[in-house]
Amino acid sequence: MDQVRILFWNDKELYELKTRQIVLASLRYPSCKMWMSSMLDHFMSGFTIDRTIEALRTKQFDVNCVARRDEHGKLWGRQEEWMKMITACHELGIKTLNYDFGYFDHYNTFMVDTYDSKARSSIGLDWPTVSDKLDWNTTPEYVQKYRNKFLKILNKAKNEKPINGLKSGEYVVIWPQYSMDLVRPEFREGLNKKTEVTDWVNRICDMVRAQGLTPVVKGGPAMEHWGRLNIQHIKDTPIYVHAEHQLKELPTAGYEKYINHKLIAHAKYHVVSCSSVTNELVLAEAPVIATGESWFTGLDIFNEPKGWDDLLDNPMKINHANRNKWANWWLSRQVQKDDACNKFVEIYNKYPLLNT
């Protein structure tokens, strides 16, 4: 089998170290060679997308694959500049891949996926043949440990009273993210860019209260740095941070150890954009409304209302067969970080050049 030669391209500080770690790890794998062109590296900073494309055409960069870090397979892949890269690569017979954190045991894993010529994921190709039967006992050991630990803490929380006076089955957890960049257009319309996360949360809170339920907001691991969310402008709503140290920056919020488990244990349902917390909600078999775009879009995995008017029309529906398929697809894509190089090679070899 020919050696896979992958060029990583990066222009985001957030992804620089993770990408370099993957490239360095490839030195241990004879099945592939990896290089990195970084706009943050003074030596390589001249290699813009246009110059990189030219280097690929002239074989100055003699590779058979170009990859980048993406989020939900969509955040950067569908941008005009990267679409230019994808189009050029496919014309040159060079495959395009992307990577992100995995789903289960999110921050300790990576996943690898393809871009077709329109920057779409391969999940659409795989979906018809993914099994809807799921046996957790056959999953990798690290996944079983992660799931078992999560369910043990969750079940303990179910046998305890809800936190801070909340009533079981009478509250809804809203899980915002740092921006609305991956929210579907119909839910972004009319939002002010500078306050869009706050506005999205407040609108959902009002709709939840109109149902006679209590909205609860739970932030993420970097919530204190989210410039588009101001919790001072979210009124009469319990707000919880992810980690205790965040209270220094957000003193009006609340925190408890195992906060996710405790909120999930007694919630009626959940509203997300496309947060990775859905992996916990899948394990908990909890109802989920999704307003964002991700690999799950259009596959009837979560409830995806058409717009604000029907946001809460059918919050409790769960398609268990499709959630099993969803979990199986992820289990075929994600690996512990040390195995990332092998997964890049596997995904590269699995798919033809997707010029669809």
Do 121 and 162 fall into the same domain? no
pTM of the model: 0.95
CA distance 37 to 46: 9
Residue 135 lies in a domain: no
**Angle between helix 141-158 and 259-266 (nearest 10):** 60
Do 226 and 79 fall into the same domain? no
Residue 137 lies in a domain: no
Do 265 and 289 fall into the same domain? yes
Do 117 and 156 fall into the same domain? no
Residue 356 lies in a domain: no
Residue 168 lies in a domain: yes
Do 246 and 277 fall into the same domain? yes
Do 321 and 202 fall into the same domain? yes
Do 72 and 186 fall into the same domain? no
* Structural domain that includes position 69: 4-130+332-350
pLDDT at 189: 83
Complete DSSP assignment for 170-238: SEEEEE--S-STTB-HHHHTT--GGGHHHHHHHHHHHHHHHTT-EEEEE--TTGGG-TT--GGGS-S--
Please list the rounded mean pLDDT of every run of 10 residues in the chain (356 residues).
91 96 95 95 92 97 97 91 96 97 97 94 96 98 98 98 97 94 90 92 97 97 90 94 94 96 98 96 98 96 97 97 98 97 96 75
Contacts of 213 (CB under 8 A, 6+ apart): 170, 171, 172, 268
Do 168 and 217 fall into the same domain? yes
Question: For the domain that residue 35 is a member of, what is the CATH number?
Answer: 3.40.50
Do 314 and 337 fall into the same domain? no
Residue 110 lies in a domain: yes
Residue 66 lies in a domain: yes
Q: What dihedral angle (degrees, nearest 10) is formed by the CA atoms of 174, 178, 184, 185?
A: 120
Do 30 and 110 fall into the same domain? yes
Do 211 and 161 fall into the same domain? yes
Q: Count the domains in the chain.
A: 2
pLDDT at 355: 62
pLDDT at 192: 87
Residue 50 lies in a domain: yes
Largest Cα–Cα separation, the chain: 66
Do 234 and 338 fall into the same domain? no
Residue 141 lies in a domain: no
